[in-house]
């Protein structure tokens, strides 16, 4: 069994709630669109056990699986709206100057 990288106890509440919401959305949309678990798993190339974990909001399921399921079900843009370009677009390169204290601690390492 693969190792889980995220533990629910250490996961921020907002992230955990979002994963549960996405999982419920996948489950609800799959049933509304009358897509069987086996069909969705086949399209996503995942096991049914992984789909069950995804639909429960398990943080051990990869983000790619959540986003792929939402995309296949046609709700990706509603569930995960695109980021505004100002958050990810290139900005002019400005070097950050470290304070003397920070430079000194880097030299110690």
Residue 86 lies in a domain: no
Residue 49 lies in a domain: yes
Q: Which pLDDT value is given to residue 33?
A: 97
What averages of pLDDT result for each successive group of 10 residues across the chain (109 residues)?
A: 62 93 97 97 96 95 95 95 84 72 66
Q: Using an 8 Å Cβ cutoff, are 34 and 74 in contact?
A: no
Residue 95 lies in a domain: no
Residue 1 lies in a domain: no
Q: Which of 71, 61, 70, 74 is nearest to 15 (CA)?
A: 61
Number of domains in the chain: 1
Q: Which pLDDT value is given to residue 98?
A: 77
Residue 46 lies in a domain: yes
| Count of other CB atoms within 10 angstroms of residue 39 | 13
In eight-state DSSP terms, residue 84 is P
Q: Which pLDDT value is given to residue 85?
A: 87
- End-to-end Cα spacing for the chain: 38
Separation between Cα atoms, residue 34 and residue 17, nearest integer Å = 26
Residue 67 lies in a domain: yes
Domain CATH number, residue 48 = 1.10.260.40
Q: Which pLDDT value is given to residue 2?
A: 55
Residue 100 lies in a domain: no
Q: Which of 59, 28, 26 is nearest to 41 (CA)?
A: 26
Domain that holds residue 76: 8-80
Q: Which pLDDT value is given to residue 88?
A: 79
Residue 25 lies in a domain: yes
Q: Which tokens sit at 3?
A: 């190792």
């Amino acid at each position: 069994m693969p190792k889980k990288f995220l533990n629910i106890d250490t996961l921020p509440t907002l992230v955990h709630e979002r994963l549960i919401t996405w999982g419920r959305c996948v489950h609800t949309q799959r049933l509304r669109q009358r897509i069987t678990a086996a069909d969705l798993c086949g399209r996503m190339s995942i096991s049914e056990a992984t789909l069950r974990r995804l639909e429960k909001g398990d943080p051990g399921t990869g983000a790619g699986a959540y986003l792929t399921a939402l995309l296949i079900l046609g709700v990706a843009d509603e569930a995960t709206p695109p980021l505004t370009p100002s958050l990810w677009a290139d900005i002019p390169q400005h070097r950050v100057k470290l304070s003397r204290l920070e430079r000194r601690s880097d030299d110690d390492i």
